[in-house]
């Protein structure tokens, strides 16, 4: 097994490894340590069953069951389907998920630790669908001392319902949340500078998808600071953009990485399976 950096970025590629086979503890430990310290890892040319995808994901920790239950894979609720496929008039997955910078499940009291996305069918490179990832370790490190001092005691509110409603208002593929879903997902508050739960390293923990307000600031002050941080953290110098191929498994650490789904030509099929690692309590 080899672990090598991708394009001098914070992302790494793992080669000479077959996830469908049992990975020994030494190699798995190397993968796990690199994952939390860098943020993004790529495994190309994998042939995974749903169970193999789930089993590998579960080695990193318990798995989340996504709130959008209509898009969970039948028989495998640990997998949420991201797809533009339609069968018998029914969408098989979320077609337009995450077309904004975000960290998966940052709106939870215990946010997600990681996500593993497996590509079954993807458009050709010229048809779009690439995924940019931004390192929030690097974004924090690049802040000047005065901004670090300003942010160190601030907290921000994250909201799933507000994002869901924004997408619905824009005509995106969204059903109304019911009372039970709203009760399960109240707004939560997290530190803007959040130590990684495994490494302890500081990272920015805000994202334009789910972060809606900085506590203790007026609405205009909050939005101005959030806009500044959003623009800072997604500068090209902090970004790795992944060009998908069928058989790719890419995993990212939600505690130190944000990502965004890109537009793609809907004339082509895009069908992926995602598992999500629960964060520590």
Instruction: Specify burial of residue 113 (Cβ count, 10 A radius: 0-12, 13-18, 19+).
Output: buried
Give CA separation, 197 vs 12, 46, 124, 215, 221, in Å.
Answer: 21, 29, 37, 22, 29
The residue that leads in pLDDT, 204 or 165, is 204
Say what the pLDDT of residue 86 is.
92
Q: Domain count for the chain, please give it.
A: 1
* pLDDT surpassing 80 at residue 181: no
**Average pLDDT for the chain:** 91
Gyration radius (Cα) of the chain, Å: 18
* pLDDT surpassing 70 at residue 167: no
Say what the pLDDT of residue 175 is.
57
pLDDT digits (tens, 9 = 90+) for 220-247: 999 999 999 999 999 999 999 999 999 9
Give CA separation, 250 vs 58, 131, 224, 272, in Å.
Answer: 15, 10, 33, 11
pLDDT range class, residue 116, cuts 50, 70, 90? very high
For residue 228, give every residue at least 6 positions away whose Cβ sits within 8 Å of its Cβ, in sequence order, or none.
Answer: none
The H-or-E segment that residue 167 falls in is helix 160-169
Sheet of strand 40-43: strand arrangement: 2-5, 11-15, 40-43, 249-253, 114-121, 271-277, 76-83, 72-73
pTM: 0.92
Instruction: Report, as an integer, the average pLDDT of 6-10.
Output: 86
- Give the other-Cβ count within 10 Å of 280's Cβ: 11
Say what the pLDDT of residue 68 is.
78
Helices and strands, number each (H, E), in the chain:
7, 18
* pLDDT surpassing 80 at residue 255: yes
pLDDT digits (tens, 9 = 90+) for 45-90: 999 999 999 999 999 999 999 877 889 999 999 999 999 999 988 8
Note down the domain range covering 141. 2-277
Q: Contact, 276 vs 80, CB < 8 A?
A: yes
Say what the pLDDT of residue 37 is.
94
Say what the pLDDT of residue 31 is.
97
Say what the pLDDT of residue 95 is.
85
Q: Contact, 6 vs 132, CB < 8 A?
A: no
Say what the pLDDT of residue 161 is.
76
Render 207-247 in DSSP notation, one character per residue: -TTTEEEETTS-HHHHHHHHHHHHHHHT-GGGEEEE---TT
pLDDT digits (tens, 9 = 90+) for 190-212: 999 999 999 999 999 999 999 99
* pLDDT surpassing 90 at residue 176: no
Give me the CATH number covering residue 71: 3.60.130.10
Q: Provide the token pair at 214.
A: 């900085």
* pLDDT surpassing 90 at residue 270: yes
Spacing of C-alpha 79 from chain mean position: 14
Where do we find the tokens 């790795």?
240
Strand ranges inside the chain, DSSP E: 2-5, 11-15, 40-43, 72-73, 76-83, 86-87, 90-91, 114-121, 131-135, 155-158, 188-191, 193-195, 202-204, 211-214, 239-242, 249-253, 257-259, 271-277
Say what the pLDDT of residue 97 is.
73
């Amino acid at each position: 097994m080899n672990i090598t950096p991708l394009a001098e970025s914070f992302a790494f590629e793992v080669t000479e490894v077959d996830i469908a086979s049992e990975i020994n503890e030494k190699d798995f430990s190397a993968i796990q340590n690199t994952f939390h310290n860098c943020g993004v890892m790529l495994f190309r040319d994998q042939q995974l069953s749903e169970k193999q995808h789930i089993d590998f994901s579960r080695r990193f920790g318990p798995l989340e069951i996504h709130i959008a239950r209509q898009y969970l894979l039948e028989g495998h609720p640990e997998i949420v389907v991201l797809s533009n496929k339609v069968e018998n008039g029914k969408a098989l997955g979320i077609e337009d998920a995450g077309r904004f910078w975000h960290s998966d499940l940052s709106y939870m009291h215990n946010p997600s630790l990681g996500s593993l996305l497996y590509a079954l069918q993807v458009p050709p490179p010229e048809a779009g669908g690439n995924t940019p990832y931004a390192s929030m370790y690097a974004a924090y490190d690049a802040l000047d001392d005065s901004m670090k001092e300003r942010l160190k005691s601030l907290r921000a509110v994250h909201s799933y319902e507000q994002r869901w409603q924004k997408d619905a208002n824009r005509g995106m593929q969204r059903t109304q949340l019911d009372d039970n879903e709203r009760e399960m997902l109240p707004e939560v508050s997290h530190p803007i500078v959040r130590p990684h739960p495994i490494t302890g390293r500081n990272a920015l923990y805000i994202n334009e998808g789910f972060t809606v307000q900085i506590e203790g600031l007026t609405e205009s002050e909050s939005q101005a600071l959030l806009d500044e941080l959003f623009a800072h953290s997604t500068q090209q110098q902090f970004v790795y953009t992944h060009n998908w191929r069928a058989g790719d498994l890419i995993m990212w650490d939600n505690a130190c990485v944000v990502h965004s789904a890109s537009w793609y030509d809907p004339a082509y099929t895009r069908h992926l399976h995602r598992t999500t690692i629960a964060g520590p309590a």
